A and B are shown apart, each in its own frame.
Chain A
């Protein structure tokens, strides 16, 4: 609750007794999601749920081969009862498995599916061409060209210090040099609401689109041209959306086709991908293979690192944060290339490139540490960057180590046994990982705040809520300013008719949005306190908002309703935009995982995970904790279960469904602890990406610590564990 004399808005500065973290009356506490009741009762309207009158349902026919030429006859689809339209989406050639070839629109989803089947069976002639699915196929001599520029992208390299001297330094000191290859598979975003939208255009002056996208205003990028309408009459809406994780920045091919069908038919069109299409035509986290040679001195310092990595982004370039990751290595050399395959292009996914790099970095660090007889925590502390963040990571690492029981753990400088000793078929291990991310905001949100004469408060901005709690913070920041509750503020988001909002991606939302809302609220408080001063004759410097929207100070106490009744008939409106000083950038985190490895079955169970993270001022503890835990769950899922499988010889998708593409479920979730760093005094920073980075590497490290088995690839499935243990036993 700010005072009018404050020339600039600021976040609450009081400190909570238990945690040492800053808190306000509303902010800095557990704030319940304002759309919780709508979501919990099934009333929240997602794009998938929109049912305008006269709606038709559309579906894609997709390529079942990676590389092919085809001819298409739409007649078989049009002959199906209930089908109202069909159109080609690709022209004569498909270049990736699952590529949309055609779309069929019908009066029911069943008729649309039947139309798609009819096309597949009777309307499609396919000439299968040679394909490249695996790295080996793509890099082979005479491989079919995936992109005109070739199957291997340009090398991006870096070179610092003297790698050979670094290796020699370690060896001279009695250290070790190791070479290892680490691989991570392609992971799917697996948004529960698939990509798609409902386009309601009946040929008139206006169109409405409800899309499942990460940026409301993405609906003005493409659809106006497809519909041949001015953006001002294309109303994009995304009040709720069922998950994006980086894959839903634009309206995509589904947006183009939905608009075109709607325009052709003069009817609203519902086009949401079916689950199988979603798996192969809606993006993914790129896979990666890195070969790394590194040297460590007996004191735990990595003295040299040389890496060669291949990014597997299908038709796109893939992403990889590069080695060394987070840790500082004085002498390092890296080369990075993308290898293209006949699979759909990767898209951003929660900290693009970082979990991949983390898996290799933490992996080689553990291997070098144990080879030197150094414990992995000491080795991590020995390689932290010598910059201002050194102390942050240090205290985070030490804290998560303490929380997870590292200091009492049996196997620290050497891993536990890979043989069953006595009756001990299950061995327990602990692993660690670090993360880094930006999370700062930028200009772009335009917030409008209005207070009416009857005391109603409404705040509006076109931004979207991916489930992060963006909607709630719009309401909560406004409520905090006047001493109100979130229930007394009505917020509107998710519409192109409201003020501009940034896209949500790269953890930029909170640091972009929160300052703009705060700015509008602060400006309003200045206006309202001036009114109070004018009415009471008390110096405005003495007045401030107190609980319930009362204005107190200088011996006066004015109720919110009374204050608002003094406003003009039109009420008061303020506009907020981004304030750099209210946010910051650059976050750091450490995670620890404890696992149990069954030496007989190869089963890995995660027993516990701990995360410590700095994110500046924590606006909403409930939502921030959910966000971090959610990222940890996704990391666990990446570590143990997820892998896109394609038969490289046949070019056949093997697991485009939730039956065989496994996600973590309720039976695999360990207790999770989330700690926010109380020494972080900065403004708000985004939290979406960083906690999604180190979990998988920490789990792999825990398996290593438990039984000496460093699995070189994710996921850590029982078959790999058993084969790895077999090799360890053979080596003796």
Chain B
């Protein structure tokens, strides 16, 4: 699997709190996610001595595509659900397909690295720079890779396409001259049922070789 999960990055509670402060949230907003974070390691009362909170809504601020967005979520809400179901307006470009980290359709960037949004709690995404497909380009002004997907027909039904593009964009950002093997590895966690893989490779390779720029 090429998708870096949040666990690989070691999103500790400390990072999480620091992130929360860094985006300048009020203390009330920081408090709720902190409680939720504690639930995973502590018993019924956390270090702060406050009661454990596993339910109920919390307003958090997610930094999505360069803007802060207030989203009301529950501790159990995945980042994917926060984007699709709770953000206003909703960000539905990120797709729900398996909801279990198996298909890559919900790939977003967390601090520049690809992650499955269905495997990350919204609360754990606070304080991190998130990028979704909506933050990459618009139909009028697409990113080079998005343009290349259109030129090479790297999509059919299109449901896997945002995830494919996010995985490959992360690879190309990190490794602009990636070869085919590296590009294939980068999207190895992205399933496409229509079978557009050959065109997807062409599209990504063309960008790596400077073709679509």
Tell me the A residues contacting B by CB distance below 8 Å: 30, 32-33, 35-46, 48-49, 51, 57, 81, 108-110, 189-194, 240-243, 245, 274-275, 466-469, 622-623, 625-627, 629-634, 637, 657-659, 663-667, 669, 671-672
Q: Which residue of B lies closest to A637 (CB)?
A: B195
Beta-carbon contact of B146 and A40 below 8 Å: yes
Mark each residue of chain B from 189 to 200: 1 if its CB lies under 8 Å from any CB of chain A, else 0: 111111111111
A611 to chain B, nearest CB (A): 12
Interface stretch (choices B10-18, B19-27, B39-47, B157-165): B157-165
**Cβ–Cβ < 8 Å partners of A630 in chain B:** 156, 194-196
A359 to chain B, nearest CB (A): 19
CA distance A343 to B40 in the complex (A): 39
Beta-carbon contact of B149 and A40 below 8 Å: yes
Please tell me if B139 contacts chain A, counting CB pairs below 8 Å. yes
A452 to chain B, nearest CB (A): 23
Beta-carbon contact of A110 and B76 below 8 Å: yes
Beta-carbon contact of A633 and B195 below 8 Å: yes
- Residue in B154, B159, B188, B199 whose Cβ sees the most chain A Cβ within 10 Å: B159
**Cβ–Cβ < 8 Å partners of A35 in chain B:** 158
B199 to chain A, nearest CB (A): 6
A573 to chain B, nearest CB (A): 28
Q: Which residue of A lies closest to B97 (CB)?
A: A192
A32, A44, A81, A110: which contacts B158 (Cβ < 8 A)?
A44
Q: Interface residues of A: mostly helix, strand, loop or mixed?
A: loop
Beta-carbon contact of B153 and A32 below 8 Å: yes
B91, B94, B156, B200: which contacts A467 (Cβ < 8 A)?
B156
A663 in contact with B191 given A109-B81, A192-B103, A630-B156 (CB within 8 Å): yes
Tell me the B residues contacting A by CB distance below 8 Å: 55, 74, 76-77, 81, 84-86, 90-100, 102-103, 105, 132-134, 136-140, 142, 146-147, 149-151, 153-162, 165, 184-185, 187-201
**Cβ–Cβ < 8 Å partners of A667 in chain B:** 184-185, 188
B55 to chain A, nearest CB (A): 7
A629 in contact with B142 given A40-B165, A81-B55 (CB within 8 Å): no
CA distance A275 to B193 in the complex (A): 14
Beta-carbon contact of B94 and A42 below 8 Å: yes
A37 in contact with B92 given A42-B134, A663-B191 (CB within 8 Å): no
A190 in contact with B193 given A44-B158, A241-B157, A467-B157 (CB within 8 Å): yes
Q: What are 29 A-B contacts defined by CB distance under 8 Å?
A: A33-B155, A37-B139, A40-B162, A42-B93, A48-B95, A49-B90, A108-B77, A108-B81, A109-B85, A110-B81, A189-B193, A192-B157, A193-B95, A242-B159, A243-B193, A275-B98, A467-B155, A469-B156, A622-B153, A626-B153, A626-B156, A626-B194, A630-B196, A657-B98, A658-B97, A664-B195, A665-B189, A665-B197, A667-B185
CA distance A633 to B133 in the complex (A): 26
A253 to chain B, nearest CB (A): 21
Q: Interface residues of B: mostly helix, strand, loop or mixed?
A: loop
Beta-carbon contact of B196 and A39 below 8 Å: no
CA distance A625 to B100 in the complex (A): 32
**How many A-B contacts if CB must be within 8 Å?**
188
Beta-carbon contact of A46 and B159 below 8 Å: yes
**Cβ–Cβ < 8 Å partners of B84 in chain A:** 49
Beta-carbon contact of A672 and B198 below 8 Å: yes
Beta-carbon contact of B150 and A657 below 8 Å: no
Beta-carbon contact of B165 and A659 below 8 Å: no
CA distance A629 to B192 in the complex (A): 12
**Cβ–Cβ < 8 Å partners of B151 in chain A:** 32
**Cβ–Cβ < 8 Å partners of A626 in chain B:** 153, 156, 194, 196, 199
Beta-carbon contact of A41 and B134 below 8 Å: yes
**Cβ–Cβ < 8 Å partners of B95 in chain A:** 46, 48, 192-193, 242
CA distance A587 to B200 in the complex (A): 28
**Cβ–Cβ < 8 Å partners of A632 in chain B:** 195
Beta-carbon contact of A466 and B196 below 8 Å: no
Q: Which 6 A-B pairs have the closest CB atoms?
A: A42-B93, A633-B195, A467-B157, A242-B159, A630-B195, A39-B158
Q: Which residue of A lies closest to B155 (CB)?
A: A39
Q: Which residue of B lies closest to A31 (CB)?
A: B153
- Residue in B55, B100, B193 whose Cβ sees the most chain A Cβ within 10 Å: B193
**Cβ–Cβ < 8 Å partners of B194 in chain A:** 243, 467, 626, 630
B192 to chain A, nearest CB (A): 8
**Cβ–Cβ < 8 Å partners of B137 in chain A:** 40-41
Q: Which residue of B lies closest to A625 (CB)?
A: B153
CA distance A697 to B152 in the complex (A): 29
Beta-carbon contact of B188 and A666 below 8 Å: yes
A658 in contact with B102 given A40-B142, A110-B77 (CB within 8 Å): yes
B57 to chain A, nearest CB (A): 10
CA distance A40 to B140 in the complex (A): 11
A236 to chain B, nearest CB (A): 18
Beta-carbon contact of A658 and B158 below 8 Å: no
CA distance A633 to B196 in the complex (A): 8
CA distance A322 to B99 in the complex (A): 39
A81, A625, A666: which contacts B184 (Cβ < 8 A)?
A666
CA distance A275 to B133 in the complex (A): 23
- Residue in B92, B136, B142 whose Cβ sees the most chain A Cβ within 10 Å: B92
Q: Which residue of B lies closest to A631 (CB)?
A: B195
